[in-house]
Chain A
């Protein structure tokens, strides 16, 4: 009788645990105590900053290329993302930057340039940034934009994104 009731109890508890998906649980465990709401790791649904002049401000990751769903993107990895927030287009912008502009709802490729998750370097030092950021790419893995706003990580040079490194104002 006692064993039966214990079994019932376990069953009643089970659904409450199953409510969370694995990703939600992960976020719960690694939830930063800081006031920022950025994910620590980059996977499906992660919102990233876009730091180039393509017009996109915030993008949402929908696929990390060449990785399984359990894995996450690190610096130099390519992702597919949706533009969720874009700067309003004005008629004053002309030239190459005008033709390469993206709108809200566009599906584009991007490369990760900064992560909040710490990455280890071959010399033993570990680097982490305060946010996740990306730069939009075209089909040939070249940046769409002509300018890059802020800091990028040094690892991009090893992954053949030399153009991004040379455009960036600061490489850490």
Chain B
């Protein structure tokens, strides 16, 4: 019964499409069945994490395995590095340690850097240090100001009375007093 009705439908459709010249074996779009082969889904790459997140995590893993340097820049950390702090950077090669006041912290993933200002005999010297550099062993905060300034970038202190003094000698004086 069903088959009969199907045949009838087919015949009718043929009748309708008589206006179009047909060759033998031609299937109209209406009746032709398109078979699409469906495959099993591929396993998810990187367990579904987005590419950039994965890359950044791997960079941190490679350059900062302990997570100490990343923690210094983390804004949720109460002991984070801020402009106004006096820091010492120690290297794992023969380079002598670097002391200076942080004027600016630039957060840019593994390319983050800090701008250190110091003065030697009243001459200002500024060094921008990329802190995720594997040559840098550690970044110690020696001294924090009693009150932080209300800016994150302290470029305006250059050449004013707020400017940094010779930090190394002042730190030595402090040590003598404490001893």
A residues whose Cβ falls under 8 Å from a Cβ of B: 34-36, 114, 118, 123-131, 150-151, 169-170, 172
Least CB distance from B108 to A in Å reads 13
CA A114 to CA B93, docked complex, whole Å? 24
Closest to A126 in B: B128
**A126-B159 Cα distance, complex, nearest whole Å:** 20
| Contact across chains for A170 and B120 when beta carbons are under 8 A apart | yes
Which applies to chain B's interface (DSSP): helix, strand, loop or mixed? strand
User: Within the assembled complex, what's the spacing in Å between the Cα atoms of A125 and B125?
Assistant: 13
B126 part of interface (Cβ distance < 8 Å): yes
Q: Report yes or no: B125 in contact with A129, Cβ–Cβ below 8 A.
A: yes
**Cβ contact within 8 Å between A130 and B125:** yes
**How far is A128 from B121 in the complex, measured between Cα atoms in Å?**
16
Closest to B128 in A: A126
Which A residues touch B128, using CB under 8 A?
118, 125-127
CB neighbours of A151 from chain B (8 A): 120-121, 123, 125
B135 within 8 A of partner (CB): yes
A129:B124 contact, CB within 8 angstroms: yes
Bound: A114/B126 CA distance, A: 12
CB of A133, distance to nearest CB on chain B (Å): 9
Confirm or deny: B68 has a beta carbon within 8 angstroms of a beta carbon on chain A.
no
Counting chain B residues whose Cβ lies within 8 A of the other chain, the interface size class is 10 to 19
A123 CA to B121 CA in the complex, in Å? 26
Does residue B133 face the partner (Cβ distance < 8 Å to A)? yes
In the assembled complex, 20 residue pairs joining A and B whose CB atoms fall closer than 8 Å, in A order, are: A34-B158, A34-B159, A35-B159, A123-B133, A125-B127, A125-B130, A125-B133, A127-B125, A128-B125, A129-B123, A129-B125, A130-B123, A130-B124, A150-B120, A151-B121, A151-B125, A169-B121, A170-B120, A170-B121, A172-B127
Least CB distance from B26 to A in Å reads 67
**Contact between A131 and B123, CB atoms less than 8 A apart:** yes
The smallest C-beta distance from B119 to any residue of chain A, in angstroms, reads 8
Q: How far is the CB of A114 from chain B (nearest CB, A)?
A: 8
Are A123 and B135 within 8 A (Cβ)? yes
B87 at the interface (CB under 8 A from A): no
> Is B127's CB under 8 angstroms from A126's CB?
yes
Are the CB atoms of B123 and A124 closer together than 8 Å? Answer: no
A105 → chain B, closest Cβ, in Å? 27
Which A residues are CB-close (under 8 A) to B120?
150-151, 170, 172
Which residues in B have their C-beta under 8 angstroms from that of A118?
Answer: 126, 128
Residue picked from A125, A129, A169, most chain B C-beta under 10 Å: A125
* B80: interface (CB < 8 Å): no
Q: Are A124 and B130 in contact (CB under 8 A)?
A: yes
Taking CB as reference atom, which chain B residue is nearest A120? B128
CA distance A126 to B120 in the complex (A): 17
